Chains A and B, each alone.
Chain A
């Protein structure tokens, strides 16, 4: 694989991860948000795949497949099941409205560029230069976690953070050992399953996925 093609493909896939994160802030339909998450999983798998191809690393290639299976297929499918009860549900009134969220996202992206510039300067390479994008994904995910009301969007926020961290590890170290990656991925899967059960059950009992309304449960 030629170097320029490698760099181009890596940049595109990494960019797609962040774009998907931004799109989750942008769209209100919970279904679309889950779709974005799926696309992000696929893009993340592509990043790992491109790196694996370039480094001729079999472990990384397996990780890529694993990421594709879990983050691109399994997790979105589970989330789909959660929202099946209420397929038209929308993120109607986030704590910070959508335009402001998007502008904040732009700000977060700038921040991540600032804070990681020292880090990337240590070992500049095609992959490490893209680390700011991974950090930005983490920040955007965290922002979503903080500002969205729907339980499902919050799960998505958590997964965005996870994807961002995974992206940063791929870019910085070209993948952690397979076993660690396996552990963390399955961990995420477990979290999603638990949350799914929790959300579906509370939803069935209280008829709402709105986390702000859940505050009333505490009395």
Chain B
């Protein structure tokens, strides 16, 4: 715990440093102090995960009235370790990235405040502490989105959406947690001991309220609308932190409240979670395929992956509720492994988009192309993240999705039909999103990095500073390690899930290098598979290069026409057009085609412009009417406020009278 507190102290020190140090050394000092802090918290969390012993800290000095309660138990430690890891990578990246507004005192100190609150949330062990740092996290990230607000007006809109959604979510969580703490103290220990005395209705009510808030943070459809707006507008390191660490806090919250504080709960709670997950996964995957803006694409893919995680968490809860603890643990381990590997690859991808933006000034795929020749190192690092998310074997995405799938598959044993239906819907959603994710990221790599440059900026891109590459590289390490040797983190995950099910937990997965299920038939050894692949490729390459000159470079085959130009290539829009057409009923794209005919004849076309936009149907159908209704109410309320001071004073007077009458 000392280490953890020291780490947090470093973050505070960083905030101070950000405000006092002069511009030239500010970035390097702040990131250095922050990284040291993250390393300390990482070490503290790892100790807890390895030993399995929770550590606590209580002080009534920091927060007035309630004091601050921190407990680093294995579940929280997993998220702390993950956040610290991403934090280090992001801060290192910032050294090279920070320019302009991001170097200002306010932005840098906010970044560290954000990081610190992210580290404290999973360690908070009382309602007040959790809510205080949850709000701090929300507020600091909202302000960070607006860092570039002088240059780009869109950031303000995004921040508005984000602020409104996150405050509604926080209010919901607060209400839910308050319901839980009605029988006694507000620390998690008190809640755990009193929760059995609460009525089932109250417990269910509390779960649903917290679920709304946490699911909104996790970007679950239909509470996701802030995510595709906020993530793209924030500076890339902030996007990376938000998408890999902050979104995961939603999952943490659901697991903490549902599994730990409420100790499992009933089946229908988890049916809601699975339903949210299924809708999010499909919605996110479909929108990711059709997005052209890189960050927007990544934001939708976050919704997709977090949807899969929710499916895992929900199925795990349902399996536990219907009496299958072993498969429940298996599914939960799979879901948590997916959260961790999502943090790594999505962080890496967001940082990669930052690098692309730095190198070319654009993040629209239709302005990129040929970057593999201009910025090879950033490309390679980005590709590692992309292969991971596409679930290519021997990358972390594959191992975690495999484990999740095994959890669901082996859950098909009981007779409890609602659980079986949920598992069925879950695996079908998993199957549907797999191919779509592959298309989205083939599009990103193929259109963005391969082929010829589609703009002059992309043609003259320059490799980004070394520190940015190192930041991305740090996040590539878990992508590969968790893919090749996933077994090494299994003991830690085993400990992390003990928190919820304190009694009689069996290990569902063997400890080892690969993954091997206990008492169930299923195993993979990614390291051996990788070795086999390398040997086979080496043999083929060796046999192929005997007595052979290297291939000659010639012009691309052009089918008898002129030399192919960059404009003849497929664009991101055209690449995904077939799928967009197949799913047109769901996506409802708006397509504008304008044809200008030649003067001489109507049959000749002079120019043609094609534009297609895929809007967010849920935003259009659910949120816009709600916003319009609120606006109408607001306008109606304006009639009361006509600016007359007398009337305002009269309101006060009448209110006073009413209060007095009521009290009397």
Contact = CB atoms under 8 A, between A and B. Distances in A.
Q: Is A in direct contact with B (CB under 8 Å) within the complex?
A: yes
B585 A114 contact: no
A113 interface: yes
Interface residue range, chain B:
under 10
Interface in A106-141: 106, 110, 113-114, 117
B421 A99 contact: no
Contact of A117 (B417, B425, B428, B585): B417
Nearest to B432: A103
A125 B428 CA distance: 28
Nearest to A132: B417
A92 interface: no
B582 A110 contact: no
A128 B582 CA distance: 38
Contact of B585 (A100, A110, A113): A100
Chain A interface mostly: helix
A117 B424 CA distance: 15
B417 A113 contact: yes
B421 A97 contact: no
Contacts of A110: 421, 424-425
A100 B585 CA distance: 9
Nearest to B585: A100
Contacts of A100: 585
Contacts of A106: 428
B582 A114 contact: no
A114 B421 CA distance: 7
Contact of A113 (B421, B428, B582): B421
B532 interface: no
Which of B417, B421, B424, B585 has the most chain A CB atoms inside 10 A of its CB?
Answer: B417
Given A97-B585, A99-B582, A100-B585, A114 B425 contact: no
Contacts, number: 13
B418 interface: yes
Contacts of B417: 113-114, 117
A98 to B, nearest CB: 11
A114 B423 CA distance: 13
B422 to A, nearest CB: 10
Interface residues of A, number: 8
Contacts of B585: 97, 100
B418 A114 contact: yes
A113 B425 CA distance: 12
Interface in B573-595: 582, 585
A106 B432 CA distance: 13
Contacts of A97: 585
Interface string B383-406: 000000000000000000000000
B318 to A, nearest CB: 14
B580 to A, nearest CB: 14
A113 B428 CA distance: 16
A56 to B, nearest CB: 31
Contacts of A113: 417, 421
Interface in B188-207: none
Interface in A40-84: none
A99 B582 CA distance: 9
Interface string B584-620: 0100000000000000000000000000000000000
A50 to B, nearest CB: 25
A79 to B, nearest CB: 30
Nearest to B586: A100
B67 to A, nearest CB: 49
Contacts of B421: 110, 113-114
B433 to A, nearest CB: 14
B265 to A, nearest CB: 21
Nearest to A120: B417
Given A110-B424, A114-B417, A114-B421, 10 more contacts: A97-B585, A99-B582, A100-B585, A106-B428, A110-B421, A110-B425, A113-B417, A113-B421, A114-B418, A117-B417
13 contacts: A97-B585, A99-B582, A100-B585, A106-B428, A110-B421, A110-B424, A110-B425, A113-B417, A113-B421, A114-B417, A114-B418, A114-B421, A117-B417
Interface of A: 97, 99-100, 106, 110, 113-114, 117
Q: Which 3 A-B pairs have the closest CB atoms?
A: A117-B417, A114-B421, A100-B585
